[in-house]
Structure 1
Amino acid sequence: MKQNKYDDPQFFANYSLMPRSVDGLNAAGEWHTFRDMLPTLQDKKVLDLGCGFGWHCLYAREQQARAVVGVDLSENMLARARKSTDDPAIEYHQLAIEDINFTAEEFDVVISSLAFHYVENFAQVCQKVGHSLQPGGSFVFSVEHPVFTAMATQDWYYDENGKRLHWPVDGYQQQGQRIARFLDHDVVKYHRTIESYLNDLIDSGFRITRISEPQPSQEVLDKHPEMQDETRRPIFLMIAAVKDK
């Protein structure tokens, strides 16, 4: 069984209180950059891996995507997504990302937001995404930045007064499992280097077209000043790639 913390009642309750859970994409500090990396979605069939509450699925339909499929392992996530969705062109599947098995060239665009650092075998996911994409199709995703995932503590280094001095990085080249503390729970994440992300894509037949290590927009910082320290080190890595014809 793949990790499914979001069906833990307390973990899900804590997650549901996060700004991005309450206010959607506009409360996600990285959304303005992720949105700009997406291709035109009009008349496209879109797959969202790790769709969560369905925010990106709804956005794709707002952009006139022809059809959207959202995949998530969590029953709680999908229940919330279905509650917020009144659109027959959007369908949700309860499925682990690693277990997707769509038909060849079924989709025009595959997206994923902050899910792949929970997946042990990213290379396999790249191969499955490549199989399901049309030639020339787009694959755009975000993950926690390897600078962020290198150490399981995922926390700042503080002085004796609790001031944040710097973000420590160690063990960067030792890829693999980390037990991180997130929303007061132990969560399994997988650290991999930037090199690994890029080479897994290239080896699966993708051509990388854009990379971003975004900072929160000024609008988000004005609304959530507690996020100011997110400008001091990268927390997200975003990659856009195209399946070579």
Structure 2
Amino acid sequence: MARQNVYDDEVFFSGYQQLRATQSGLNEALEQPALRALLPDVEGADVVDLGCGDGSLARDLAEAGAASVLGVDPSMRMLALARARTEDARIRYEQLFAEDLCLPHASVDLVVSSLALHYIQDLAGLLVRIASWLRPGGRLVASMEHPVVTAAPARSNEGGWVLANYAEEGVRHTHWYTEDVIKYHRTTSTVVSELLQAGLVLTALDEPSPSPAAVQKRADLQVHRHRPALLLLRAQRP
């Protein structure tokens, strides 16, 4: 199946930018706090950000002391924002699908990926390459849509979320701002198994949920207390 670059679709890009501008999605409310809690000290580190988007995380990593940050994203529109918003010479960007990135063996200390891995068809192959890029002791920190969400992308007639076809792994065709946004479903056990088979050691796993106080401010977050929206993991090369 051909890879999809949905973030360069004009309708999708416009809707997504409005979501981020209004902070009405899960990024600021749930995903970024959980992801950043798993990050190691990056002082002096060489970092790769897979699916870097507009570069906000890359800029924060550089500000936190990273020696270099390579942001990788297939979207021309997102990278245009990233380059316009970045002045730090330690940060550079490449327009690539994560699957096409080639790096020297044992050349980076941290690979981070925010809400991108569920777009990857061959996750096992990517994890093997990530493990090869990492120096001994280097880490992978990543977030993705939770498998209970990717399993059945449609809502039920009652308006809630349903869990169906969980064991049926593979492509999912979803609607998000535009028709036929392609994601890939795999079970939690498959994600962890592929991580271990790549030679990495799992050191943290998180399924963050909003606090009652957060739900009081944003009632739409309540559904994420009923079922997890996100799966986050941290792994290390021995």
Q: Same fold (TM over 0.5)?
A: yes
- CA distance 1:52–1:91, shift in 2 (3 Å): same
- CA distance 1:221–1:27, shift in 2 (3 Å): farther
The SS at the match of 2:141 is: strand
Contact 1:30 1:217 in 2 (8 A): no
Task: Verify: 1:68 aligned to 2:69, yes or no.
Answer: yes
Of 189, 200, 212, which aligns to 1:195?
A: 189
Displacement of 1:216: 2.8
**Unpaired runs of at least 5, structure 1:** none
Aligned AA for 1:62? E
Of 211, 234, 238, which aligns to 2:228?
A: 234
Residues 77-156 of structure 1 mapped to structure 2, 5 A cutoff: 77-153=78-154, 155=155
Task: Verify: 1:45 aligned to 2:39, yes or no.
Answer: no
Distance 1:60 1:223 in 2: 29
The SS at the match of 1:227 is: helix
The SS at the match of 1:110 is: strand
TM-score computed with the length of structure 1 as normaliser: 0.90
Contact 2:11 2:178 in 1 (8 A): no
Deviations 1:116-157 (Å, cap 9, x if unpaired)? 11110000100110111101100010110000000132x2x3
**Unpaired runs of at least 5, structure 2:** none
TM-score computed with the length of structure 2 as normaliser: 0.93
- CA distance 1:119–1:13, shift in 2 (3 Å): same
Displacement of 1:26: 7.1
Of 203, 206, 211, which aligns to 2:200?
A: 206
- Number of residue pairs aligned between Structure 1 and Structure 2: 236
Distance 1:54 1:25 in 2: 17
Of 175, 180, 183, which aligns to 2:177?
A: 183
- CA distance 1:81–1:224, shift in 2 (3 Å): farther
Residue identity (%): 37
Contact 1:11 1:185 in 2 (8 A): no
- CA RMSD in angstroms comes to 1.9
Contact 1:30 1:215 in 2 (8 A): no
Contact 2:74 2:97 in 1 (8 A): yes
Displacement of 1:30: 1.9
Spell out structure 1 runs of 4+ moving beyond 6 A: none
Distance 1:217 1:78 in 2: 33
Displacement of 1:223: 4.8
Distance 1:76 1:227 in 2: 29
Displacement of 1:62: 1.9
Distance 2:108 2:198 in 1: 16
Distance 2:114 2:29 in 1: 11
Displacement of 1:243: 0.7
Displacement of 1:215: 1.1
